[in-house]
């Protein structure tokens, strides 16, 4: 009897209408809109922003403790997807790029794009050309490419057939970006335009192309593997020079979905456990707002981002797309999250009047992205987590006396002595 992954590969290879996300197209009684998932999420952060490799290692340990939250088939090497999002490890990239003859400017003045590319040479060169075209078109500098070292022996044979060629592109800040925030917006615009152009190619030419992250602040290592295999596959993560003050991790359990490389999490800003039940309405409302939207910060670049949310994305990826637009448009990360996932405010007599007024005002701007969900999020400068208004997903955290915060969808994701714990509690509804 063929495994799920073997059946998925057969469907993907035989179906010319397979969507870019890895779902089959709508056909017969099947509709990809009905897909849901349930996963494990967590993060660790040094509140004082002290970067170290230890934080990366502890993040990977949190991820390993979430293994039971992920799905695996009869093949012990195959998994639904797992990953880690960290701050850009400047020392590591600076030394690695120097050995390749790439000279990086100061930290914050260059961005790193993690790029999944097709293994077929001609298709790969086409995709690389499109990435470079938009870097130049948006007034930024192409500094160079680095092939990312991986150990494919940790993947099963079925998953290895879907494995992309992974490279990192280094982009220097152009003169049209006055600060790092403007540069982040340009990297966002470059990435979106690249994806949109490649999605216009024939479906077989889209295979394996995806940009998990493109930022001057964060980088994402993820893939279709088990949680315990992430650091073994991505050998960068074993290097002591890879340092961060935060690590956001995710272990995927695609209950009714097809696993794929691009739908592994974290995404660019968040990871998510649960589902958005109002997704179709949320997508329609975002599309309806297109011609009413304006942004002083994005200006004419706003028109380059549409369609903002591609059909076939998961609910988590769609939420991430919308959050990314709000942050690029000038909302702070916490503000945007509260706008999208509001508390239950209308009939809550215990809520502070100013906070109720905040939610009442924003209810006129955007409808809630509602459903049983726990969301952890970061932009590389702040990190946080929230639950939906009903609090239907688990999320617990501890604060230690050496200024660490550990949050997870389980208790005990790290072995922390009781005497070091200053606070221990759970996220509550909203």
Q: Who contacts 297 (Cβ-Cβ below 8 Å, separation ≥6)? A: 182, 185, 328, 329, 330
pLDDT digits (tens, 9 = 90+) for 354-367: 999 999 999 999 99
- Residue whose C-alpha is closest to residue 203's, from 316, 129, 312: 312
pLDDT of res. 4: 52
Residues in the chain, total: 430
Q: How far is CA 306 from CA 127, 365, 377, 426, in A?
A: 20, 19, 24, 38
CB 160 within 8 A of CB 273: no
Percent of the chain with pLDDT over 90: 62
Q: What does the DSSP 8-state code read for residue 329? A: T
Q: Is the pLDDT of residue 235 over 80?
A: yes
Percent of the chain with pLDDT over 70: 86
The residue annotated as part of the active site, out of 39, 127, 220, 271, is 39
Buried-state track 29-42, b at ≥16 Cβ within 10 A, e below 16: eeebeebbbbbbbb
Q: Is the pLDDT of residue 384 over 50?
A: yes
State whether residue 26 is helix, strand or coil: coil
* Residue 39 is among the residues annotated as catalytic for this protein: yes
Q: What average pLDDT does the chain have?
A: 87
For the chain, the maximum distance between any two Cα atoms, rounded to a whole number of angstroms, is 63
Q: What does the DSSP 8-state code read for residue 295? A: -
Label residue 143 by pLDDT band (50, 70, 90).
very high
- Residue whose C-alpha is closest to residue 3's, from 138, 157, 114: 157
pLDDT of res. 73: 62
pLDDT of res. 260: 80
Mean pLDDT of 174-198: 95
Mean pLDDT of 292-311: 87
Distance (Å, whole) CA 315 – CA 279: 7
Which carries the bigger pLDDT value, residue 291 or residue 146? 146
Mean pLDDT of 190-200: 92
> Where on the phi/psi map is residue 208: left (φ > 0), alpha (ψ -120 to 50), or beta?
left
């Amino acid at each position: 009897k063929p495994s799920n992954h073997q059946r998925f590969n057969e469907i993907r290879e035989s179906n010319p209408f397979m969507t870019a996300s890895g779902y089959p197209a709508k056909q017969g009684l099947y509709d990809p809109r009905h897909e849901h998932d349930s996963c494990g999420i967590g993060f660790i952060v040094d509140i004082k922003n002290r970067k170290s490799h230890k934080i990366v290692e502890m993040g990977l340990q949190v991820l390993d403790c979430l293994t039971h939250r992920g799905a695996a088939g009869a093949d012990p090497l195959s998994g639904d997807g797992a990953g880690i999002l960290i701050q850009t490890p400047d020392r590591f990239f600076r030394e690695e790029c120097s050995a390749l003859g790439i000279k990086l400017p100061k930290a914050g003045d260059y961005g790193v794009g993690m790029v999944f590319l097709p293994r077929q040479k001609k298709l790969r060169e086409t995709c690389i050309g499109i990435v470079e075209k938009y870097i130049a078109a948006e007034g930024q500098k192409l500094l160079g490419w680095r092939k990312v070292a991986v150990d494919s022996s940790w993947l099963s044979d079925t998953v290895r057939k879907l494995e992309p060629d992974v490279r990192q592109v280094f982009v220097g800040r152009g003169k049209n970006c006055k600060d790092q925030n403007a540069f982040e917006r340009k990297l966002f615009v470059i990435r979106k335009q690249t994806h949109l152009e490649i999605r216009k190619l024939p479906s077989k030419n889209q295979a394996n192309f995806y940009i998990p992250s493109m930022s001057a602040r964060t980088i994402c290592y993820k893939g279709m593997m088990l949680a315990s295999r992430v650091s073994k596959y991505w050998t960068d993560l074993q290097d002591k020079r890879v340092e961060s003050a935060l690590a956001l991790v995710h272990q995927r359990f695609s209950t009714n979905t097809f696993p794929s490389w691009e739908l592994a999490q974290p995404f660019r800003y968040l990871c998510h456990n649960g589902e958005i039940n109002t997704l179709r309405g949320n997508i329609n409302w975002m599309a309806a707002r297109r011609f009413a939207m304006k942004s002083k910060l994005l200006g004419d670049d706003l028109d380059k981002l549409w369609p903002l949310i591609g059909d076939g994305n998961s609910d988590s990826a769609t939420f991430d797309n919308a959050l990314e637009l709000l942050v690029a448009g000038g909302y702070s990360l916490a503000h945007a999250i509260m706008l999208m996932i509001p508390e239950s405010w209308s009939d809550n007599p215990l809520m502070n009047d100013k906070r109720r007024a905040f939610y009442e005002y924003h209810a006129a701007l955007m409808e809630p992205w509602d459903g049983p969900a726990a969301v952890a999020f970061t932009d590389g400068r702040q990190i946080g987590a929230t639950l939906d208004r009903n609090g239907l997903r688990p999320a617990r955290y501890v604060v230690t006396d050496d200024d660490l915060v550990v949050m997870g969808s389980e208790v005990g994701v790290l072995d922390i002595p009781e005497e070091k714990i200053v606070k221990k509690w759970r996220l509550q509804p909203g």
